[in-house]
Structure 1
């Protein structure tokens, strides 16, 4: 993403002027958590070997607000992260869509930003889709364990799994599937990276509009989750949050 110095300098200034938070307390329980994320532009991704993106920058401000030093962030494939969040203790995974299907599986801090889950198809196909029932007999591709896939599976439709979003979109472009189920952030960024003309595809059905959150494993102490939420609530009221949105998303 092209970023001019006119944008970057105000963002840096806002980060430097953000609240310094409380004094660090040794043995803070926030330091006993494992922070996991994936490659998911523009929210979390690796650049020059380091995690960055909206949710990463926001998490660093949350730590700062809480008086916690920056913690290691591990980047790994989403299916592995998703399993870890349900099976391993003391895990924070982000950014995750907070959907009805996932509500009771995690404890939540957010929202980070609002997103949209949809079915995308070739515009040239002119698919008329008013509900998932109109996809009966058609082939849908998606990725394992993502929110859009859960929506389709929950409605009783089978999926063809792709290894990556690029692969799913290539299946769509070649006609081997009729639609792909993805979130709009991932779809738009992937299409742009593959250099397709912007009018090649269209969203034919919105599956849901949900926000993305930090998802804590179920064993996490409620008081610690509430502390993260208070820190986030304080940050989103400041200009730095709007600057981060403009920098990474808008």
Structure 2
């Protein structure tokens, strides 16, 4: 009995020691995934697949600098659709996805680094639209478009709305101008940036209904030491004004 106990304790010690080595392994590399979500992350060529230097945006610039300062290796890939890369980060050790809203229902699903930037949630309408809203309940009488799988779309469903979802958020800008939807539930500044890229301007905000902070979400098995290093690097960047400088350079 005593011998079995010693063997069990010895096995536990080996596991703990291996885990500790993994946390400080200088060769540990994080697989980072992102999507086209201008102006935070985007493929330079505008396509739905890009890697490494072919990706830019506010969050990309911040994350690159953060990993550089933390001394953590990484690879970076932009893919489509969002549901797929979110699921990969959720299920695969060593993976992370950005940017995503840190919501209460997601809190225990990931380890978080951030905030990287703000994301106000708004209802946009055409500039000449007579629609005026005081709350989301009043929006139920209109056709609202949203981005499939996005936190905003999920929030609207929870509030009893039935948004018409699109696989690319910029499609909602076109639908709005074509009269296929009355309202576009999107992020600010992301929505206005996307509309501008489609040659659409003059949209007005008829409701600002929520606000979220955008984060890097890391798989739950990510070593705590790496998470701490990344957070410390980001905190230092924000204190130095680096984060604000990046934000201002895009907007």
State the TM bucket, normalised to the shorter chain.
0.7 to 0.9
Of residues 236, 239, 242, the one that matches 1:240 is 242
Shift of 1:229: 0.7
CA contact (8 A) 2:111 2:218 kept: yes
Divergent runs of 4+, >4 A = none
Question: Is 1:46 aligned to residue 43 of structure 2?
Answer: yes
Q: Which residue matches 1:214?
A: 216
Q: Which residue of 2 aligns with 1:145?
A: 149
Which residue is equivalent to 2:4? none
Structure 2 counterpart of 1:12: none
In the superposition, relative to structure 1, how do residues 121 and 101 fare at CA in structure 2: closer, same or farther (>3 Å)? Answer: farther
* Equivalence for 2:66: 62
Q: How far 1:30 sits from its partner (Å)?
A: 4.6
Distance 1:126 1:100, change over 3 A: farther
Q: Deviations over 1:21-44 (max 9, x none)?
A: xxxx9943751x210011122211
In the superposition, relative to structure 1, how do residues 30 and 244 fare at CA in structure 2: closer, same or farther (>3 Å)? farther
Residue aligned with 1:124, SS? coil
Taking the aligned partners of 2:27 and 2:216, their CA distance within structure 1 comes to 16
Q: Secondary structure at the match of 1:212?
A: strand
In structure 2, C-alpha distance between the alignment counterparts of 1:55 and 1:190, rounded to whole Å = 16
> How has the CA–CA distance of structure 1 residues 85 and 207 changed in structure 2, closer, same or farther, with 3 Å as cutoff?
farther
Unaligned 5+ runs, structure 1:
1-24
Aligned partner of 1:72 among 71, 75, 93: 75
Structure 1 residues 104 and 127, CA, compared in 2 at 3 Å: closer, same or farther? farther
Paired residues of 1:165 and 1:186 also in contact (CA < 8 A): no
Higher-Rg structure is 2
Q: Closer, same or farther in 2 for the Cα pair 1:89/1:75, shift >3 Å?
A: same
Residue equivalent to 2:8: none
1:132 is aligned, of 133, 136, 143, to: 136
* Number of equivalenced pairs: 221
Equivalent pair of 2:31/2:95 in contact (CA under 8 Å): yes
Deviation at 1:114, TM superposition (A): 1.6
1:155 alignment partner in structure 2 = 159
Aligned to 1:110: 114
1:202-246 CA distance string (max 9 Å, x none): 121112112111111222233321221112112222243332222
Cα distance in 1 between the residues matched to 2:249 and 2:142: 38
For residues 232 and 224 of structure 1, the distance between their equivalents in structure 2, rounded to whole angstroms, comes to: 12
Task: State the distance in 1 between where 2:140 and 2:238 align.
Answer: 42
Paired residues of 2:72 and 2:226 also in contact (CA < 8 A):
no
TM-score calculated relative to the size of structure 1: 0.80
RMSD: 2.1
